[in-house]
Amino acid sequence: MADNNNNNNNERRRKLAVFAGLLIQQTERKVLSHLFTHSQNVNQAITLACLRKDEKPRIEGYVESVIPRYDPDDFREHFRLSRESFEAVLTLLMECNEIPQPGQDGLRGKMPILIEKQLLIFLWYLGNNETFRSIADRFGVSMSTAHECWRRISKTMVSKMASRFITWPHTQQAIQDTTEGFRQLSHLPSILGAIDGTHIRIKAPRVRPDTYINRKKFPSIVLQGVCNSKMLFTNVYAGWPGSCHDARVWRNSPFYRSRNTTIPDGCHLVGDSAYPLEPCLMTPFRDYGNLNQQQKMFNRELSRARQVIERSFGQLKGRFRKLRDFYADDMELIVDGIVSACILHNICILNAEELVELYDEDQEIDVNDDLMVPFNNHAAGVQRRLYLLNLMM
């Protein structure tokens, strides 16, 4: 009997041992499962943190797969140039041999991307009001790479292409063609260009921000432009703070310093009342209610010729939306971007490219309205204007 009890006890102990072992195994499995799950969560957290650190997940294949499927209208709507103009600019940039490509030195030590992709990034930034963060996401690159593409393309265009596409009529034939073109717009003779200034809204810089606040109380820089009758820019000058009057920008521009050799005798520019009257720059008679019919006629004819520069600015800002609100920190890159836009504007006109959108400059009241010119009219300019007035009679 005692032996049976011992056997039963032993059997009971064995079963308890087996049961305890099973409990231990189950506990170990639960612990291991918990640790594995925790490890996965940690890995996912690390991955998400890395993605956040590198902005956000990027879109792959936009340049390689999506853009080739755009029809001509879609391409022009997105990049503000036709495919033909894009290919022409791309060829010019490649001929400059200034921008690294795969197989050459990279962007700040990184593997460079194709010039075609760099140009697309540049055009997207110039033609749309988007940040480098969203552009980097769209084109599948880092923010630093997108910014570097912008810097390289704009620098190359300004240094290598500006003198080719923003040209002043120096030859006798070019001067004759230009004055004849204005003759089709106005009865005022001998016009070699229309001049005006437009304000590019910017983010106020950290250094002396007050100097960039214009009369309409927003920060800007001034773009001074001269164009011909075809709305081609023949001279541009950008970078002066928005608080500066158009006349001051004109008097401090390189074009003004070379005006005696640049503008031949007998020819002149036309500008609005914000500019001083000089032999090389005709402005309208100020209307205080005492103008005679001949003076009013002179003003009308001058206005017909001068409106071409307003339309040029309207096309420029209509095509390249970044020029409406150019919020960036690097002032030098802003100026390069503005000049680059003027170059592309001329290329589009030379290619007879249809405008996608026209920006109405009338929406922006001239910040120089009703300001008196801070310079006295040139006596020779007064005599020149009277001569032209009598010539038109």
- Smallest Cα–Cα separation from 186: which of 306, 307, 304, 309? 304
2 within a domain of the structure (yes/no): no
User: Are residues 124 and 173 part of one domain?
Assistant: no
Give the CA distances from residue 256 to residues 9, 248, 388, in Å, rounded to whole numbers and listed in that order. 114, 11, 22
User: Are residues 82 and 199 part of one domain?
Assistant: no
37 within a domain of the structure (yes/no): no
3-state secondary structure of 234: strand
3-state secondary structure of 98: coil
289 within a domain of the structure (yes/no): yes
> How far is residue 204's CA from residue 91's CA, in Å, rounded to a whole number?
36
| pLDDT computed for residue 240 by the predictor | 96
User: Are residues 270 and 124 part of one domain?
Assistant: no
| pLDDT computed for residue 60 by the predictor | 72
| pLDDT computed for residue 45 by the predictor | 46
The answer to whether the beta carbons of residues 285 and 291 sit under 8 Å apart is: yes
Tokens of 385: 């204007």
272 within a domain of the structure (yes/no): yes
Maximum distance among all Cα pairs of the chain, rounded to whole angstroms? 146
Tokens of 270: 């036309």
| pLDDT computed for residue 393 by the predictor | 76
User: Are residues 204 and 100 part of one domain?
Assistant: no
Question: SS3 letters for 205-219?
Answer: CCCCHHHHECCCCCE
Q: Which residues of the chain have pLDDT under 70?
A: 1-59, 101-111, 356-376
153 within a domain of the structure (yes/no): yes
pLDDT tens string 317-376: 999 999 999 988 889 999 999 999 999 999 999 999 877 666 665 444 454 544 555 455
User: Are residues 216 and 74 part of one domain?
Assistant: no
Domain boundary among 160, 191, 212: 160
3-state secondary structure of 284: coil
| pLDDT computed for residue 37 by the predictor | 52
89 within a domain of the structure (yes/no): yes
> How far is residue 287's CA from residue 311's CA, in Å, rounded to a whole number?
24
| pLDDT computed for residue 4 by the predictor | 55
Domain boundary among 135, 160, 185: 160
User: Are residues 172 and 155 part of one domain?
Assistant: no
User: Are residues 229 and 296 part of one domain?
Assistant: yes
Question: What's the total number of domains in the chain?
Answer: 2
Instruction: Give CA angle at 148 (144, 153), nearest 5°.
Output: 155
> How far is residue 333's CA from residue 95's CA, in Å, rounded to a whole number?
22
Q: What is the CA radius of gyration of the chain?
A: 33
**Which helix (H) or strand (E) is 350 found in, with range?**
helix 331-350
User: Are residues 156 and 175 part of one domain?
Assistant: no
User: Are residues 338 and 278 part of one domain?
Assistant: yes
Range of the domain at 134: 62-160
Residue 353: count other Cβ atoms within 10 Å of its Cβ.
Answer: 17
Give the CA distances from residue 297 to residues 111, 123, 283, 387, 392, in Å, rounded to whole numbers and listed in that order. 63, 43, 13, 14, 9
1 within a domain of the structure (yes/no): no
| pLDDT computed for residue 31 by the predictor | 47
User: Are residues 184 and 154 part of one domain?
Assistant: no
Domain boundary among 99, 131, 160: 160
| Terminal-residue alpha carbon distance, the chain | 146
pTM value is: 0.81
Q: Find residue 270's DSSP bridge partners.
A: 194, 282
User: Are residues 192 and 140 part of one domain?
Assistant: no
| pLDDT computed for residue 55 by the predictor | 45
User: Are residues 229 and 282 part of one domain?
Assistant: yes
22 within a domain of the structure (yes/no): no
